[in-house]
Structure 1
Amino acid sequence: MDLEIGGKRALVLGASRGLGMEIAKSLAKEGVIVFAAARSQDKITAWSQGMENVHALQLDLGKLDDVDRVVDGLLADGGVDIIVNNSGGPPPGTAEKADRASWLAHFEAMAANLFHLNTRLLPVMKEQGWGRIISITSSGVEQPIPNLALSNGIRAAVVGWSKTLANEVAADGITVNVVMPGRIHTQRVDELDAAAAKRTESDVAEVAAKSRATIPAGRYGKPEEFADVVTFLASVRAGYVTGSRIRIDGGSIKSI
């Protein structure tokens, strides 16, 4: 299937590793010009060697000046057609123990600055009558994950923003969707399993086995399986999909 996005320009956030990296690779394989951004620009440069249509950018979403610097550069070069909003996850912890400073700091990096970035890049999409905005959240926005209070709460705000924006810009040819990963086997999932093992004084392999046992598919997802769904949503073929939440979780969320 020709996704018809060769030559389009995409900004992929959090692209130094994990889901962001795989999404950037998947888009690049379709001929998209990818601006891959993360705090660790060197890591992007390392994995993108030989990929002429991938450009590494240094960006710390927690710093507004960084966000504006990157956006200024993209706008001076014509803007982008596709935005993949992907932020790093906050540390695990309970809602009871999460303090105000933690909420504010992580909300700024995972929501407020992200909204600002999209707002600044949106006018170019509206002018050209085409655009794709895809936000990576978590299955926790639909079925809260224990001990991930900051993530559950802040990512839910991204869902509300996405649905609101989708309704506002649909007539401009711009789609806005949310993709919810379940247990996709990335470094982040390994870190969460390790944290759970430490908290429960268990073996990491035992924690991972118990986690896989709760997934109907019986395994963790592959990062490339996730990335290919995102790439389809970024395509011309997905032009009638907007305002949606798409699960990629092997069936782990229990609700319909």
Structure 2
Amino acid sequence: MNLNIADRTAIVCASSRGLGRACALELARAGARVVINGRDPDKLEATAAAIRQETGAEVIAVAADLSTEAGRTAILAAMPHVDILVNNNGGPPARDFRMVDRDAMLAGLEANMIAPAMLVRAVIDGMVDRRFGRIVNITSGSVKMPLAGLDLSSGARAGLTGYLAGVARSVAHANVTINYLLPGSFDTDRITSLVAGQAKASGRPAADILADRLATIPAKRLGTPAEFGAACAFLCSDMAGYITGQSLLIDGGIFPGIM
């Protein structure tokens, strides 16, 4: 399928690895010029080089912490304008809600609600003026089905979803869309760290913890980053202009709802 986004400019946040990297790779494959981001300059440049080699696309690496105003300014300065924004950021560590003090709560809100909202605010008027814009926010399956220990992550990401709901409807007339991708269990470093934490807390082998998790997923496997990246690229495509304000759950069927 031709996504018709060749020569579009894209920013993909937190994209040196995992699901963010998969989104950046698919957008680059489709011909977009892509800014990737992470905090580790060496890892980030290695990812940029790999995507360039695989796709031939222009890839710009910006090492920055997007939870800070300086970091957001740096990534926005990498392109003269932004056609596609993929908001992504690591979630707070899993922990009992009783262990989340005020400072931790503010940090979680800054990373997973405020920072992406500020990036949206920075790019959306230009998208409206040019009559094209695609914003995809990577949140979490825990927005629909809260998970013990991820209360702060769930709350912050649900807050972002609610905050942008009205915004999405206000710019739809200008061919600007705002959508959400809600990942379940994917084969990334994030799931590895969660399983390791559960194994340490329970004293059980990590392999057993992972097997228990897979048993609850109707697909009986973890998702692959490539599957996720493909879904992201479609939502960023020219053909997805009639899809806005939607949360696409990609979880192998684990959510027990009918919608």
Shorter-chain TM-score: what band? over 0.9
Structure 1, gaps ≥5 residues long? none
Q: Is the 8 A contact 1:98 1:149 kept in 2?
A: no
Secondary structure, counterpart of 2:99 in structure 1? coil
The residue matched to 1:251 in structure 2 has which SS? Answer: coil
**RMSD of the alignment, in Å?**
1.2
Partners of 1:143 and 1:207 lie apart in 2 by 19
Distance 2:143 2:6 in 1: 32
Q: CA deviation at 1:41?
A: 3.0
| Cα distance in 1 for residues equivalent to 2:72 and 2:228 | 26
Post-superposition offset of 1:62: 2.1
Matches within 5 A, 1:175-186: 175-186=177-188
SS in 2 for 1:48: helix
Q: Which residue of 1 aligns with 2:66?
A: 61
Distance of 1:60 and 1:224 partners within structure 2: 25
In structure 2, how many angstroms separate the alpha carbons of the residues matched to 1:70 and 1:53? 15
Equivalence for 1:47 = 47
Tell me which amino acid in the other structure corresponds to 1:47: T
Shifted more, 33-42 versus 81-90: the winner is 33-42
Counterpart amino acid of 2:83? D
Aligned length: 253
Aligned partner of 1:108 in structure 2 is: 110
| Residue deviations 1:152-204 (CA, integer Å, cap 9, x gap) | 11111111123221111111110100110000110111111101111111110
Q: Is the 8 A contact 1:93 1:148 kept in 2?
A: yes
SS at structure 1 position matched to 2:61: strand
TM-score for the superposition, normalised by structure 1: 0.95
Displacement, 1:52? 4.2
Distance 2:31 2:160 in 1: 28
Query: Where do residues 171-210 of structure 1 align in structure 2 (5 Å cutoff)?
Result: 171-210=173-212
Aligned-partner Cα distance in 1 for 2:251–2:9: 28
1:86 corresponds to which of 85, 88, 94: 88
8 Å Cα contact 2:32/2:57 also seen in 1: no
**Which of 220, 223, 227 is matched with 1:225 structurally?**
227
CA distance in 1, matches of 2:98, 2:145: 18
Query: CA offset at residue 78 of structure 1?
Result: 2.4
